[in-house]
Amino acid sequence: MKTINILAISGSLRPNSSNNAIINVMAGMAPGNVIITTYQSLATLPHFNPDLDNDMPPTSVTAFRTQLKNADAVLICTPEYAFGVPGSLKNALDWTVSSSDFVDKPVALITASSQGGHAHTSLLLTLGAISAKIDDNAKLLISFIRSKVNSAGQITDPELLKELQKVLAALISSV
List pLDDT tens digits, range 163-173: 999 999 999 99
Mean pLDDT of 124-141: 97
List pLDDT tens digits, range 143-158: 999 999 999 999 999 9
Query: Is 96 buried (19+), middle (13-18) or exposed (0-12) by CB count in 10 A?
Result: buried
Q: Which helix (H) or strand (E) holds 112?
A: strand 107-113
Cα–Cα nearest to 108, from 80, 144, 132: 132
pLDDT at 19 over 90: yes
pLDDT at 1 over 90: no
List pLDDT tens digits, range 93-113: 999 999 999 999 999 999 999
Question: Measured between alpha carbons, how far is 134 from 16 in angstroms, rounded to an integer?
Answer: 27
Question: Measured between alpha carbons, how far is 61 from 47 in angstroms, rounded to an integer?
Answer: 10
**Amino acid letter for position 78:** T
List pLDDT tens digits, range 23-61: 999 999 999 999 999 999 999 999 999 999 999 999 999
Residue 84 φ then ψ, to 5°: -145, -175
Question: Measured between alpha carbons, how far is 27 from 90 in angstroms, rounded to an integer?
Answer: 23
Residue 77 φ then ψ, to 5°: -130, 120
Give the model's confidence band at 68: pLDDT under 50 very low, under 70 low, under 90 confident, else very high. very high
Domains defined for the chain, CATH in brackets? 4-173 (3.40.50.360)
Q: Could you write out the DSSP letters of every residue in 100-154?
A: STTTT-BEEEEEEESS-HHHHHHHHHHHHHTT-B--GGGEEEEESGGGTB-TTS-
